[in-house]
Amino acid sequence: MSTRSRYRAREESITLSPLEEQIAAQRGGETTELLTLNIGPHHPATHGVLRLLVTLEGEIVRELKPIIGYVHTGIEKTAEQKAYWKVIPVVERMDYLSYYFNAMVFCGAVETLLECEVPKRAQYLRVIHLELNRIMSHLVWLGTSALDLGAISMFWYCFRERETILDLFEFSSGQRMHTRYFQVGGVIEDIPRGFEAKLREFIAIMPGRADQYADLLQRNEILLQRLRGVCPLDEETLLGLGVTGPLLRAAGNPWDLRKAAPYSSYEDFEFRIPVGTVGDNYDRFAVRLAEIYESVKIIEQALDGLPEGPYITEDRKVALPPRHELATSMEALIHHFKLVTEGFRVPPGEIYYAIESPRGELGCFVRSDGSSKPARVHMRDPSFVNLQATAPMVRGAYIADLIATLAMLDPILGGIDR
Amino acid sequence: MALTREPIEPGSFRARQLLARDLLRGDFEGLELERHVEQSILTTTLDRAVAWGRSNAIFPATFGLACCAIEMMSVVAARVDIARFGFEAFRASPRQADLLILSGRVSIKMAPVVRRIYDQMLEPKWAIAMGACSSSMGVFNNYAIVPADKFMPIDVHVPGCPPRPEALMHGILKLRKMIQDDPEMGWRQRYDAQGTEEVLQGSEPAGA
Amino acid sequence: MPDQVGLELIAGQLATQIPGAVRQTTFFRNRATVEIAPAAVRGVLAQLRDEHGYRALMSVHGVDYYPEEPRLGVHYELLDMARVDRLTVKLRVPLAEPNVESVTPDWPTADHQEREVYDMFGVTFDGHPDLRRILMPEDYEGHPQRRDFPIGGEPVLFTYNDATSPGWTR
């Protein structure tokens, strides 16, 4: 090409000599040649469209630079254009494996701004769906990670359970993914008859299935060799990088927002937090596998203790009135009209609300200016912050370990790029 | 008896009769043969057999972008099993793949990458835009997304957000039917893109 | 969360240690916010970490306060894991001079997050090791999440504008 693009010109200016000199200094003068490879954005192993610039010395990774933005959807700006209840479907599609969590954190933030009480039954229903989503997210993680490591049949087993969970979601809300089930003030609809029975069937078999996965994987020699002792990172560095969730718990820090700052009635339930010791890939794997059992326990307790009552707040300025009231009550009609056309207005203020998603602390910042549309919605996505830990983890490991670490990191590019 | 020479109109029955006689005798060669094959208006059994083979052995490319990718993984999973139709061999390399299932939203940073991967695929190739975001703008009508029709030709659009695995299956089977029925189904015909074929030096351009 | 009294105590200590730092305190819906002067951000965060125990920086995000001036805001969400306390530190910079000192040397987690604020709002962080666009393409012009940036998108196709909409299929 006669005219060089700025991209090519920039590429030619990339020199690896500082890094090479650094390594040579460490080795007492023995020079080496480094190779920078581009992994992605289209690559069978990356979880989503993640691009990694990997600087290699032979097979060992010396430096890693993630390049993101390939799924950037402008969700936060779209949310500013929509009424508060219309933001919920938009924001759900962010971290697309934990959609209930996205909806929960946004609804929680708006409910705090509105000072709106969520009835107890709605809180328990929310907990049930959140924990089902957590199990589902861990199942997809397990299936795809095992696929990356070569244990291909795990994919089918995990997706078998995932189909059962999606059937439950379809039962309660009508959609498999991105269900729009959580609304500001509660949930959109009560669970139908038969949901409880089906859910009890599921929680009866799920621990057995998780045992099957553990049997398949936990003592598998290949898996152990690929995960044990590979890419550990200590707690201090993780805390400095802002990493939370199973990654931090694998390093030994039992920080879990469900226990530390309980929201939505989590304090009523008894469950344990699995914590790792070394912080290597195997601990990350084991922590997530153990969390599945704990989530099943939470669902069972929530189902046993499910109180009667309304499933959404009674405040008609925030939640739609039940449909039968529209025929008899004039106020119900007016409320319905106002809520559907304009939406409720939120008093001006700013709030940051955080919950524990399957990947770590998911936070939502909402700024309202008194109108019916939010002025700013920002989601503090855990994968976005956790991705910064990839580079310290894989420096000095092999490329195959890089793939395994990326799998154990559980990044969801929808959340990273928003 | 005087022999008369009458000019034979090309395309008339007599001309076609003579062509068929030459074909059967094996008198055709080179350009004439190619032209004849191109002009055959009936699909031959060979074409149909090739189309049947192609339609039943599509290799999709692993191209999951966002939420639709999870439902695409569900299509591969056991409940809605894409392997029943022979399509479970997802190839990572675009050179080995026939079908690009654009599952998910295409951001402006990703669009040139998608286009490059589509260009790297060898003909015949097809593309399915799965989900609302890639077909049109979907839920997000904003600065960051590009609908796939703007930069690459799409054969089947599957609506949904995300489409159920059964819906994606329906879309894939529709594409399979399209391939089976019309062996000449080239996107160049449908999108008026004649002239965009890759022409090797010194040879005729490949068919329409 | 520190309650109102605790918030005032913290703000008072910050004001004595770093004069001119604290501009305002807000206690809203049980959450504490301290608004500081942009020049003092690194000092304030270091102070909060060393003296008051807010050792974790959970989020760095930007806000556009259009049409109020100063227009661009950066919020730092701090967390004290030992006492489960959250504190928001916010600062506002005008559009004409959107420079803030980067806290990345002290808090490695701010690396990508400050890049995102730069990308979306245009706030430049002095001292950031690698300040370039993170979500948009590198040669993109404009800062999308500012309130006066157009939302963009495609026009919805109806029968009346189908033929005139450029670029679709034909």
- Are C144 and B144 a contacting pair at CB < 8 A? yes
- Are A74 and C144 a contacting pair at CB < 8 A? yes
Average pLDDT estimate for C105-122: 91
- The C-alpha of C13 sits at a distance from chain A's nearest C-alpha, in angstroms, of 24
Residue A292 has pLDDT above 50, yes or no: yes
CB-based burial, B175-205: b 16+ in 10 Å, e otherwise: bbeebbeebebbbeeeeeeeeeeeeeeeeee
Interface residues on A facing B, Cβ-Cβ cutoff 8 A: 41-44, 48-49, 69-75, 77-78, 89-90, 93, 96-97, 140, 143-144, 155-156, 159-160, 162-163, 166, 176-178, 413-414, 417
Q: Smallest Cβ distance to C59: which of A78, A115, A363?
A: A363
Partners of B76 on chain A (C-beta within 8 Å) are 155
pLDDT band at C156 (very low <50, low <70, confident <90, very high): confident
- Are B109 and C137 a contacting pair at CB < 8 A? yes
- The C-alpha of A253 sits at a distance from chain C's nearest C-alpha, in angstroms, of 10
Residue B124 and residue B97: Cα distance in Å, rounded?
10
Residue of B nearest to A43 (CA): B92
Residue of C nearest to B109 (CA): C137
Residue A306 and residue A124: Cα distance in Å, rounded?
6
Tokens of B94: 């675009």
- Are A352 and C111 a contacting pair at CB < 8 A? no
Query: Residue B202: its pLDDT value, please?
Result: 45
The length of chain B is: 208
Q: Tell me which of A50, A80, A237, A241 to substitute to probe the interface with C (most C C-beta atoms closer than 10 Å).
A: A241
- Are C169 and B147 a contacting pair at CB < 8 A? no
- Are C109 and A241 a contacting pair at CB < 8 A? yes
Query: Residue B198: its pLDDT value, please?
Result: 57
Partners of B144 on chain C (C-beta within 8 Å) are 136, 144, 152
pLDDT band at B206 (very low <50, low <70, confident <90, very high): very low
User: What single string gives the DSSP state of each residue in A213-274?
Assistant: HHHHHTT-HHHHHHHTTSS---HHHHHHTT--THHHHHTT----HHHHS--TTGGGS-----
What share of chain A has pLDDT > 70, as a percent? 95
Residue B205 has pLDDT above 60, yes or no: no
Residue B109 and residue A244: Cα distance in Å, rounded?
29
pLDDT band at B208 (very low <50, low <70, confident <90, very high): very low
The residue ranking higher by pLDDT, A252 or C160, is A252
C113 part of contact set with chain A, CB < 8 Å? yes
What share of chain B has pLDDT > 90, as a percent? 11
Residue A316 has pLDDT above 90, yes or no: no
Query: Residue C58: its pLDDT value, please?
Result: 92
Note whether C168 and B149 are within 8 A (CB).
yes
Average pLDDT estimate for B127-142: 88
Instruction: Lowest mean pLDDT of A219-223, A403-407, C161-165, name the range.
Output: C161-165
Which residues, other chains included, contact A122 with Cβ-Cβ below 8 Å and sequence gap of 6+? A185, A186, A187, A310, A311, A312, A313
Average pLDDT estimate for A396-403: 90
In 3-state terms chain C splits into helix, strand, coil percentages (rounded to 5) of 25, 25, 50
C24 part of contact set with chain A, CB < 8 Å? no
Query: Residue B122: its pLDDT value, please?
Result: 84
Q: Does an H or E element contain B100, and which?
A: strand B99-103
- The C-alpha of C164 sits at a distance from chain A's nearest C-alpha, in angstroms, of 25
Residue A3 has pLDDT above 60, yes or no: no
- Are A97 and B74 a contacting pair at CB < 8 A? no
Query: Residue A350: its pLDDT value, please?
Result: 92
Query: Residue B147: its pLDDT value, please?
Result: 87
By DSSP bridging, strand C99-101 and strand C124-126 are parallel
- Are C135 and A385 a contacting pair at CB < 8 A? no
Q: Which position has the token pair 């920080």?
A: A255
- Are C59 and A352 a contacting pair at CB < 8 A? yes
- Are C77 and A388 a contacting pair at CB < 8 A? no
Residue B31 has pLDDT above 50, yes or no: yes
- Are A384 and C63 a contacting pair at CB < 8 A? no
List the one residue out of A401, A406, A393, A399 whose CA is nearest residue A56: A399
Q: Could you read off the pLDDT of A227-277 as tens digits, one per residue?
A: 998 888 889 999 999 999 999 999 989 999 999 989 988 999 999 999 999
Instruction: Lowest mean pLDDT of A18-32, A242-256, B129-143, C2-16, name the range.
Output: A18-32
Note whether A110 and B146 are within 8 A (CB).
no
Q: Could you read off the pLDDT of B101-123 as tens digits, one per residue?
A: 999 899 998 998 998 898 888 87
Return the bridge partners of A350, or none. Answer: A367
- Are A242 and C58 a contacting pair at CB < 8 A? yes
Query: Residue A170: its pLDDT value, please?
Result: 93
Q: Tell me which of B63, B90, B120, B139 to substitute to probe the interface with A (most A C-beta atoms closer than 10 Å).
A: B139
Residue C51 and residue C48: Cα distance in Å, rounded?
6
Interface residues on B facing C, Cβ-Cβ cutoff 8 A: 108-109, 136-137, 140-145, 147, 149-150, 191-192
Q: Could you read off the pLDDT of A187-213 as tens digits, one per residue?
A: 998 999 999 999 999 999 999 999 999
For chain B, the farthest-separated pair of C-alpha atoms sits apart, in whole angstroms, at 83
- Are C113 and A385 a contacting pair at CB < 8 A? yes
Q: Tell me which of A78, A243, A376, A393 to substitute to probe the interface with C (most C C-beta atoms closer than 10 Å).
A: A376
The residues in A 164-193 lying below 8 A from C, measured between CB atoms, are: none
- Are B147 and C149 a contacting pair at CB < 8 A? no
- Are A178 and B162 a contacting pair at CB < 8 A? yes
**Residue A317, helix vs strand vs coil:** coil
Average of per-residue pLDDT values in chain A: 89
Question: What DSSP designation does C155 have?
Answer: P
Residue A376 has pLDDT above 90, yes or no: yes
Residue C68 has pLDDT above 90, yes or no: no
pLDDT band at A1 (very low <50, low <70, confident <90, very high): very low
List the end-to-end C-alpha distance of chain C, in Å, as a whole number: 58
Query: Residue A377: its pLDDT value, please?
Result: 94
| Range of A163-167, A321-325, C64-68 with top mean pLDDT | A163-167
Query: Residue A107: its pLDDT value, please?
Result: 94
Residue A252 and residue A235: Cα distance in Å, rounded?
7
- Give pTM, 2 decimals: 0.87
- Are B141 and C167 a contacting pair at CB < 8 A? no
Partners of A177 on chain B (C-beta within 8 Å) are 67, 70-71, 162
All partners of chain C with 3 or more CB pairs under 8 angstroms: A, B
Residue of C nearest to B143 (CA): C152
For chains A and C, what is the number of CB pairs under 8 angstroms? 96
Average pLDDT estimate for B138-163: 87
Q: How far apart, in Å, are the Cα atoms of C6 and each of A94, A333, B31, B87, B156?
A: 36, 46, 91, 63, 61
Tokens of B66: 């966002």
